[in-house]
Amino acid sequence: MKNVLLFDCFGVVMREVAPYWFRRYYTAEEADRIKEEMMHDGDVGAVPDDVLYRRLGATVGVPGETIRREWEDLVIPNADTIALIRELKSRYRVALLSNAMSEYLRYALKKCGIEDLFDFTVVSAEVKLVKPDPAIFKFALERAGVDAKNALMIDDVQKNLDGAKTVGIDGYLFRDAAGLRTFLAQDAGKQTP
């Protein structure tokens, strides 16, 4: 039986940020490529947030502090998902497992008023591992103190779910809170004798 739900942050609990920001300054084709190149160092904790903002700013001719404010302004909670997580807390342990810069993610949680929503949080920059690396999922399982069969990863990126599957964690490809609610109800029904 699943008793731990691992939620991705951006694209699930909150709206995506990086794709919106990169598309402000780059074409769609450039945005995805440059996002992958630029964000990795921040996501894996190789550079602090302010250094990444300065690097991003240098590529578009804008001061790093302006970039920080732009990113902060793009933090928008997914109210339906947050409401669902609040309901689910009575039946599951819930955790956040996100590829993100540490300071930025902590800011986003505070801005959305959900710093205490999760039983624990795993931030890629803090553990120096990024999804879909199986090691980050193993880390989350150890932190939760559960076997993989007892956890479910909820993410909006298939390759991250594929990474979770390599260590035995089932996944749910998130599109909206209503779909997740239906999935969990059906899954609970399958597990009841």
Cβ atoms of 25 and 172 closer than 8 Å: no
* Res 189 pLDDT > 90: no
pTM, entire model: 0.94
Neighbours of 186 (CB within 10 A): 10
Cα distances (Å, whole numbers) of residue 148 to 87, 135, 141 = 23, 13, 7
- Mean pLDDT, the chain, integer: 95
Based on the domain organization, do 119 and 101 belong to the same domain?
Answer: yes
Based on the domain organization, do 22 and 107 belong to the same domain?
Answer: no
Where a domain ends, among 55, 73, 91? 73
Give the model confidence (pLDDT) of 70-119 as tens digits: 999 999 999 999 999 999 999 999 999 999 999 999 999 999 999 999 99
pLDDT > 90: what percent of the chain? 88
* Res 8 pLDDT > 70: yes
Based on the domain organization, do 153 and 177 belong to the same domain?
Answer: yes
Based on the domain organization, do 149 and 65 belong to the same domain?
Answer: no
Give the pLDDT score at 28. 84
Cβ atoms of 105 and 80 closer than 8 Å: no
Question: What is the number of domains present in the chain?
Answer: 2
Cis amide linkage into residue 193, ω under 30° from 0: no
For 40-84, give the DSSP string.
HHHHTTSS-HHHHHHHHHHHHT--HHHHHHHHHHT--B-HHHHHH
Based on the domain organization, do 62 and 130 belong to the same domain?
Answer: no
Residue with tokens 């160092």: 41
Q: In what order do the strands lie in the sheet with 93-98?
A: 120-123, 93-98, 4-7, 151-155, 170-173
Give the model confidence (pLDDT) of 23-37 as tens digits: 999 998 888 888 888
Q: How far is CA 142 from the centre of its chain?
A: 18
* Res 190 pLDDT > 80: no
Give the model confidence (pLDDT) of 139-161 as tens digits: 999 999 999 999 999 999 999 99
* 133: CATH: 3.40.50.1000
Range of the structural domain that residue 157 is part of: 4-14+76-191
**Strand 93-98 to 4-7 pairing:** parallel
* Res 192 pLDDT > 70: no
Based on the domain organization, do 35 and 99 belong to the same domain?
Answer: no
Q: In 78-193, where does DSSP find H-type helix? A: 79-88, 102-111, 124-127, 134-144, 158-165, 177-191
Give the pLDDT score at 156. 98
Residue 188 CA to residue 57 CA, distance in Å, equals 47
Mean pLDDT of 37-66: 94
Where a domain ends, among 73, 94, 112? 73
137 exposed, middle or buried (CB, 10 Å; 0-12, 13-18, 19+)? buried
Based on the domain organization, do 99 and 159 belong to the same domain?
Answer: yes
Where a domain ends, among 32, 48, 73? 73
Based on the domain organization, do 95 and 175 belong to the same domain?
Answer: yes
Based on the domain organization, do 84 and 44 belong to the same domain?
Answer: no
* Res 10 pLDDT > 70: yes
* Res 193 pLDDT > 50: no
Based on the domain organization, do 95 and 177 belong to the same domain?
Answer: yes
Based on the domain organization, do 8 and 24 belong to the same domain?
Answer: no
Give the model confidence (pLDDT) of 54-63 as tens digits: 999 999 999 9
Residue 191 banded pLDDT, cuts 50, 70, 90? low
Based on the domain organization, do 141 and 82 belong to the same domain?
Answer: yes
Cβ atoms of 13 and 114 closer than 8 Å: yes
